[in-house]
Amino acid sequence: MSKLRVGILGCGQISSIYLKNLTGIFSDRIEVVGIADVIRESAEKRAAEYGGLRVISPDEMIEGRVCDSIVNLTPAPAHDVTNLRIVEAGLHLYSEKPLALSMDVVKRIDEVARSRGIRVAVAPDTLLGAGVRTCAEVVRSGRIGAPVGSLGFISVKRFDERYMNVFRGPWLDLAPYHVGAIISYLGPIGAVSAISRPARADGEGASLPESARTMENPALTGVVLEHRGGAISTLLASSETWAYVPTLVVHGSLGTLTATDPNMFGGVPRVRSGKESEEAVELLPDFRENSRGVGVWDLAGAIHESRPAVLTNEAALHATEVLLAGIESGKAGRRVSIESPG
Ligand SMILES: NC(=O)c1ccc[n+]([C@@H]2O[C@H](COP(=O)([O-])OP(=O)(O)OC[C@H]3O[C@@H](n4cnc5c(N)ncnc54)[C@H](O)[C@@H]3O)[C@@H](O)[C@H]2O)c1
């Protein structure tokens, strides 16, 4: 098959594993034709690490007709401008989360993509990993009965300016993994209600940067998500706990699934159903290890075969609307309805 010509925009920390996999295990469908960064030396460093890739400017990558698709690995505050430019240039887009920071931009990206037949996929592609697929299969198979709801805690201990300001805090940075997973377990979401607060000013919080004290990137968010099928999920996202300790449990009428960390590709799902102890569930085959980039690889196959990708435009729109509604609801103190069908 002809390979998808991919440009990598943003050559920071996460670009390393993407480049390793896109130029390695996923190179049967993908050709990395150029890499770019606003700091050219960052792109040059990565280019040298991965066999002398071609370094180009961000403008040339977006406007220069050198690629069919861009993988956007820039940080969240750059996503509104870069993602809109990419689809307006007629290029397929795979973006790190979140797709954009405002619903106006998300809707504009969706309109442009629809009118021009452009694919838009948004991370995380851990949803294609063995862990999440196995958990989804446990729920789909009826092993835990009729799904009732899920409960998740996303905790991280990172108060630094970069994490709160650039990565936009625990809800926008880490909840995308949980939100993506629970949508695949329990279906699309119709409404979101959140309570949020900035970091506490006492104790450890006293040394926090100002960005941790805003409602734009709250230090603690508790969210109730109403699934259209009737289940309810509750997620908490915090940057005030002692460590990264993510949990996700799905309860059904016949059993309980302790799901894998949806930020990872593998893990050990466990099911309890009428027995004293939990039983480990064997993972489905494929993508059990760190397979970042598998979403781009699937997108390449989908474009080539004119089939839907696993990470669809509709899924990108829905997950982003839910995430942004979590921030909006926390600020406004009201329930926010979700328009996108999912
Ligand atoms: N670091 C991780 O572990 C991790 C894991 C999963 C997902 N992500 C996501 O990946 C994205 C990038 O994360 P990172 O850790 O690599 O960040 P980073 O800050 O290390 O790197 C981002 C790079 O993008 C460049 N950049 C910024 N604006 C740009 C623009 N307009 N055009 C071109 N380049 C631009 C910066 O110069 C920098 O080199 C974020 O959305 C993050 O949420 C990160």
Dig out the tokens for 17 from the structure: 């594993």
Distance CA 249, CA 70 (A): 35
DSSP state of 263: T
Low-confidence stretches of the chain (pLDDT < 70) are 201-208, 276
Evaluate whether 252 touches 144 at the Cβ level (below 8 Å).
yes
Strand-pairing partners, residue 5, are 31
Backbone angles phi and psi of 144, in degrees to 5: -105, 15
Q: Which fold has domain 127-289+319-337?
A: Dihydrodipicolinate Reductase; domain 2 (3.30.360)
The domains of the chain are located at: 4-123+293-308, 127-289+319-337
Measure 247 CA to ligand 1 centroid, in angstroms: 25
pLDDT of residue 330: 96
* The ligand 1 atom nearest the CA atom of 77: 28
- Provide the greatest CA pair distance for the chain: 62
Evaluate whether 271 touches 138 at the Cβ level (below 8 Å).
yes
Q: Which fold has domain 4-123+293-308?
A: Rossmann fold (3.40.50)
Helix (H) or strand (E) holding 92: strand 92-95
- Give the other-Cβ count within 10 Å of 195's Cβ: 14
Tell if the pTM clears 0.95, that is, is over it: yes
Evaluate whether 164 touches 239 at the Cβ level (below 8 Å).
yes
pLDDT in tens, 93-152: 999 999 999 999 999 999 999 999 999 999 999 999 999 999 999 999 999 999 999 999
Closest residue to atom 38 of ligand 1, CA basis: 12
Dig out the tokens for 53 from the structure: 């890739």
Distance CA 68, CA 62 (A): 10
The CA–CA distances, whole Å, from 268 to 81, 255, 262, 282, 310 equal 39, 16, 11, 7, 22
Test site for ligand 1: of 14, 42, 99, most ligand atoms within 8 A of the Cβ: 14
pLDDT of residue 207: 65
Evaluate whether 5 touches 68 at the Cβ level (below 8 Å).
yes
Q: Do domains 4-123+293-308 and 127-289+319-337 have the same CATH topology?
A: no
pLDDT of residue 221: 95
pLDDT of residue 337: 98
Evaluate whether 190 touches 228 at the Cβ level (below 8 Å).
yes
Test site for ligand 1: of 8, 13, 263, 320, most ligand atoms within 8 A of the Cβ: 13
Closest residue to atom 36 of ligand 1, CA basis: 10
pLDDT of residue 206: 56
pLDDT of residue 289: 97
pLDDT of residue 204: 59
The CA–CA distances, whole Å, from 111 to 87, 105, 118, 119, 283 equal 10, 10, 10, 12, 38
Which residues are CB-contacts of 161 (< 8 A; sequence separation ≥ 6)?
209, 211
